[in-house]
Structure 1
Amino acid sequence: MRAPLPEAFLRLPIAHRAYHDAEAKRPENSLPAIRAAIRAGYGIEIDLQPSADGQAMVFHDEMLDRLTYDTGPVAARSAAELQRIRVRASAEPIPTFRQVLAEVAGQVPLLVEIKDQSGAFGPTNGVLEAATAAALQGYDGPVALMSFNPHSVAHVQRLLPQVPRGLTTYAFPAEDFPPGLPPEMEARRQALAAIEDYDRVGASFISHHWRDLSRPRVADLKAQGAAVLCWTIRSPEEEAQARRIAQNVTFEHYAAAQP
């Protein structure tokens, strides 16, 4: 089963990590940034990391250090502990996925990236995917799930076959991996770069790095009916270039033009 991406994901520009602006006290993936995106009428992209007790938290990094005044791994703290940690530049704490869903409440499309928990795009224990699925029970707004890790998307396929799912993709260059990869890991890197798992996980879209949109595999997937989103656009000029191929953009640091 391949759930199609709703039209709203191709029409409304998608605010990367929500419509964030630290100077305006709405840091990335925060509730103030979520609210700002809704007011502006943008779609929203967010990231999920797990708490120690298996809850889905809306946070990009594995570590707390960059985005909060605390330190250490997100996954070492319970959801209750994380809810007491304030996000930098905001008076509000790290939100749970359930809180964000309640805030969005179907008003705009929500694109959710499940962060890789394996460290190497390998098999995961499915805890974060299960927490994501549990939070989404009963949610009837436009939502789509994606990950750089195809194993994560395979979990989503099993847990939420009715929800559109996709792969977050780019060139996966060798320099982004440790030197001297064993042959099986090098083969996996090449498979990721070739987006070989698209059909296996029943994806209906990709979100591809905008500078790599000319890759022939992107054109092949688009010709086969895949929706093509892209990341991360940071100016109107980049947006104009990306839209020659991509059907929509994920943007930050400027106000993308509305349709």
Structure 2
Amino acid sequence: MPALPAAFTTHPVAHRALHDAGAGVIENSPAAIDRAVRAGYGIEIDLQLSADGVPMVFHDGTLDRLTAARGPVRDRTARELGDIRLNGSEDRIPTLAQVLDRIGGSVPLLIELKDQSGGMSEADTALEEATAKVLADYTGDVAVMSFNPHMMAAMQRLAPDLPRGLTTCGYVPSQWPRLLPEACAALRAISAFDAVGAGFISHDWTDLANPRVAELKAQGVPVLCWTVKSHEVDAEARKIADNVTFEGYLPQVRPAHD
């Protein structure tokens, strides 16, 4: 399996890039990308698919929370989505290709492919195929991950040399009403890790005491965690995690020899 580049453990990862809504810098926006690059942070972004098969850098499946538009992202073309302004800023929704151009390999990029099935099940692989195509010629440090193991299985087939991992958590059934209890149990156990050729996990920091996390760490698997929101939690999470995905504070970039 492809190894996670070392930069992912030395550069704290800005959650949805280095956003600050109060300053007009919106999550996953070009301005947030540029701000993270200037600060030397790693960047985490989310991907949804446009109607014409273009990976768009946007967290939600619908436009309602972050824009004045309404409805599913997947109902609009990339051109239409690129014309939609993000609330509180002049930025528009970028494509993955545009974000890659802005980063240019200067900092590590962690890409989360958002579940397209609605329930962590198998769906069409259009997002995975489009993502693999866009990333094919990118030479910077990049890795992909998803809560949905089926999506990483697809990436294993489509881009076998691309580092891939699983986004994981405790999967408390009451917090995942679309999932059957047995599905929650399998996901909580990170049971698909080997099957999808994963090389790392990004785990909910509140569940880092999970025995399965300790088991993977003992095997030398890099453990990232999400989403840390203070220096105090940062220090606590790093007792187990190799790096943090953060927002709301500014952690230090660690020297490469740490």
Answer yes or no: same fold by TM over 0.5: yes
Deviation of the 1:211 alpha carbon: 0.6
Structure 2 Cα separation of the partners of residues 176 and 125 of structure 1: 25
Residue 42 of structure 1 corresponds to which residue in structure 2?
Answer: 41
Alignment of 1:156-235 (within 5 A): 156-178=155-177, 185-235=180-230
Q: Report how far residue 258 of structure 1 moved.
A: 2.1
Q: Which residue of 2 aligns with 1:60?
A: 59
Report 1:97-136 matches (<5 A).
Answer: 97-136=96-135
Q: Secondary structure at the match of 2:22?
A: helix
Deviations 1:47-97 (A, max 9, x none): 000111111000000110111111111111111110110111221210000
Secondary structure of the structure 1 residue equivalent to 2:87: coil
Q: Give the alignment's TM-score, normalised by structure 1.
A: 0.96
When normalised by structure 2's length, the TM-score is 0.97
* Paired residue type of 1:171: G
| Match of residue 77 from structure 1 | 76
State the Cα deviation string for residues 115-162 of structure 1 (Å, max 9, x = none): 001111000200000110111121000000000000000011001111
Aligned to 1:141: 140
Per-residue CA shift, 1:140-185, capped at 9, x if unaligned?
A: 0000000000000001100111110000000111102338x7xxx3
- Aligned partner of 2:245 in structure 1 is 250
The whole-number CA distance in structure 1 between the counterparts of 2:177 and 2:223 is 29
Partner Cα distance (2:137, 2:82) in 1:
23
Q: List per-residue Cα deviations over 1:176-231 (Å, max 9, x = no partner).
A: 2338x7xxx33222100100000000000000000100111000001112100000
Please give the alpha-carbon distance, in whole angstroms, between the structure 2 residues aligned to 1:140 and 1:28: 24
CA distance in 1, matches of 2:141, 2:129: 19
- Counterpart Cα distance in 2 of 1:4 and 1:53: 32
SS in 2 for 1:44: strand
Residue type matched to 1:5 in 2? Answer: L
Partner of 1:87: 86
* Cα distance, 1:16 vs structure 2: 0.2
Q: Which runs of 5+ in 1 are unaligned?
A: none
Matched, 1:241 2:236: yes
* RMSD of Structure 2 on Structure 1 (CA): 1.0
Cα distance in 1, alignment partners of residues 117 and 98 from structure 2: 26
Percent identity of paired positions between Structure 1 and Structure 2: 56
- Counterpart residue type for residue 37 of structure 1: A
Give distance in 1, aligned partners of 2:23 and 2:49.
Answer: 27
Amino acid at match of 1:244: K
Distance apart, 1:26 and its partner CA = 1.1
Unaligned runs of 5+ in 2: none
The separation in 1 between residues aligned to 2:186 and 2:49, in whole angstroms, is 27
Aligned-partner Cα distance in 2 for 1:256–1:69: 33
- Give me the whole-angstrom Cα distance separating, in 1, the residues matched to 2:185 and 2:199: 21
Runs of 4+, deviation exceeding 6 Å: none
For 1:141 and 1:177, locate their aligned partners in 2 and report how far apart those are by CA, in whole Å. 35
Q: Which moved more, 1:203-212 or 1:83-92?
A: 83-92
Residue of structure 2 in register with 1:11 after alignment: 10
